[in-house]
Structure 1
Amino acid sequence: MHMQLLPNDRVVMYDRTDFGISNISLPNGKCRPNSTDCSSHSVEYDVGSNTIRPLMVLTNVWCSSGTLMPDGSLVQTGGWADGYRRVRIYKSCATCDWQEIPNGLNQQRWYATNHLLPDGRQIIIGGRQAFNYEFYPKMSATENSPSFPFLVQTNDPNVENNLYPFVFLYPDGNLFVFANNRSILFDYSKNQVVKTYPTMHGGQPRNYPSTGSAVLLPLRMKKGVAESVEVLVCGGAPKGAFANSNNGRFDGALDTCGRIRISDPNPQWVMETMPLARVMGDMLLLPNGHVLIINGASAGVAGWELGRNPVLSPVTYRPDNQIGSRFEVQNPSTKPRVYHSTVVLLRDGRVLVGGSNPHDKYVFTNVLYPTELSLKAFSPSYLDLSSSSSRPRILSPKTKTKIRYGKQIDVTFLV
Structure 2
Amino acid sequence: MLINFLCIKCLFLQLSFHFIFVPLIPSQVLPPYAGSQGEWNLLHESIGISAMHMQLLHDNRVIMFDRTDFGQSNLSLSSGRCRFDPYDTVLHTDCTAHSILYDVATNAYRPLMVQTDTWCSSGSVLPNGTLVQSGGYNDGDHVVRTFTPCDDDQCDWIELPQHLSERRWYATNQILPDGRIIIIGGRRQFNYEFYPKSDEDLSFPQTFMLHFLLETRDYAENNLYPFVHLLPDGNLFIFANTRSILFDYKQNKVLKEYPEIPGADPRNYPSTGSSVLLPLDERNGSTSVQAEIMICGGAQNASFALATQGVFIRAISTCGRLVVSHANPSWVMEEMPLPRVMGDMILLPNGDVIIINGAQLGTAGWELARGPMTRPIIYRPSEQTSRRFSVMEPSTRPRMYHSSAIFNPHIYYNFTNVVYPTDLSLEAYSPPYLSAEYATVRPKILSLNETIGYKATFQVRFSVEEYLSAGVVSVRLIAPSFTTHSFGMNQRMVVLKILEVSHVTSYVYHLAAVAPSTAEIAPPGYYLLFVVHAEIPSSGMWVKME
- Give the TM interval when normalised to the shorter protein: over 0.9
Q: Where does residue 498 of structure 2 map in the other structure?
A: none
Q: 1:49/1:392 Cα in 2 relative to 1: closer, same or farther (>3 Å)?
A: closer
Give the Cα–Cα distance (whole angstroms) in 2 for the partners of residues 66 and 159 of structure 1: 22
| Percentage identity across paired residues of the two chains | 55
Q: 1:175/1:399 Cα in 2 relative to 1: closer, same or farther (>3 Å)?
A: closer
Give the Cα–Cα distance (whole angstroms) in 1 for the partners of residues 57 and 180 of structure 2: 18
Tell me how many residue pairs correspond in the alignment: 400
Match of 2:55, SS? strand
Q: Where does residue 83 of structure 2 map in the other structure?
A: 32
Mapping of residues 400-415 of structure 1, within 5 Å: 402-406=450-454, 407-413=456-462, 415=468
Aligned with 1:265 (options 313, 318, 327): 327
Give the Cα–Cα distance (whole angstroms) in 2 for the partners of residues 124 and 39 of structure 1: 29
Aligned with 2:139 (options 44, 62, 82): 82
Structure 2: 5+ residue runs without aligned partners? 1-51, 86-91, 469-546
Aligned with 1:314 (options 376, 380, 385): 376
Aligned-residue offset at 1:113: 0.2
Contact 2:123 2:134 in 1 (8 A): yes
Give the Cα–Cα distance (whole angstroms) in 1 for the partners of residues 365 and 452 of structure 2: 46
Give the Cα–Cα distance (whole angstroms) in 2 for the partners of residues 150 and 65 of structure 1: 20
Q: Which residue type is aligned with residue 99 of structure 1?
A: I
Q: Where does residue 348 of structure 1 map in the other structure?
A: none
Q: 1:308/1:104 Cα in 2 relative to 1: closer, same or farther (>3 Å)?
A: same
Q: Where does residue 202 of structure 2 map in the other structure?
A: 141
**Are 1:383 and 2:434 matched, yes or no?**
yes
Aligned with 2:280 (options 219, 222, 225): 219
What CA deviation, in whole Å up to 9, does each residue of 1:38-75 have, x standing for no partner?
00000100111111111001111110001111110000
Q: Where does residue 317 of structure 2 map in the other structure?
A: 255
**Are 1:275 and 2:337 matched, yes or no?**
yes
Contact 2:449 2:459 in 1 (8 A): no
Q: Where does residue 178 of structure 1 map in the other structure?
A: 239
Aligned with 2:253 (options 177, 192, 200): 192
TM-score by length of 1: 0.93
Mapping of residues 294-313 of structure 1, within 5 Å: 294-313=356-375
What CA deviation, in whole Å up to 9, does each residue of 1:214-260 have, x standing for no partner?
00001233213343111000000011111111111111100000111
What CA deviation, in whole Å up to 9, does each residue of 1:124-148 have, x standing for no partner?
0000000000000012334421100
Match of 1:369, SS? coil
After TM superposition, the runs of 4+ consecutive aligned structure 1 residues lying more than 6 A away are none
Q: 1:328/1:138 Cα in 2 relative to 1: closer, same or farther (>3 Å)?
A: same
Q: Where does residue 228 of structure 2 map in the other structure?
A: 167
Q: Which residue type is aligned with residue 369 of structure 2?
A: G
**Are 1:203 and 2:203 matched, yes or no?**
no
Match of 2:209, SS? coil
Structure 1: 5+ residue runs without aligned partners? 344-354
Give the Cα–Cα distance (whole angstroms) in 2 for the partners of residues 228 and 212 of structure 1: 23
Aligned with 1:42 (options 99, 103, 106): 99
Q: 1:39/1:412 Cα in 2 relative to 1: closer, same or farther (>3 Å)?
A: closer
Q: 1:159/1:325 Cα in 2 relative to 1: closer, same or farther (>3 Å)?
A: farther
Contact 1:133 1:147 in 2 (8 A): yes
Contact 1:59 1:82 in 2 (8 A): yes
Aligned with 2:163 (options 104, 109, 132): 104
Q: 1:412/1:43 Cα in 2 relative to 1: closer, same or farther (>3 Å)?
A: closer
Q: Where does residue 57 of structure 1 map in the other structure?
A: 114
Aligned-residue offset at 1:200: 0.5
Match of 1:185, SS? strand
Q: Which residue type is aligned with residue 60 of structure 1?
A: D
Contact 1:403 1:409 in 2 (8 A): no
Q: Where does residue 352 of structure 1 map in the other structure?
A: none
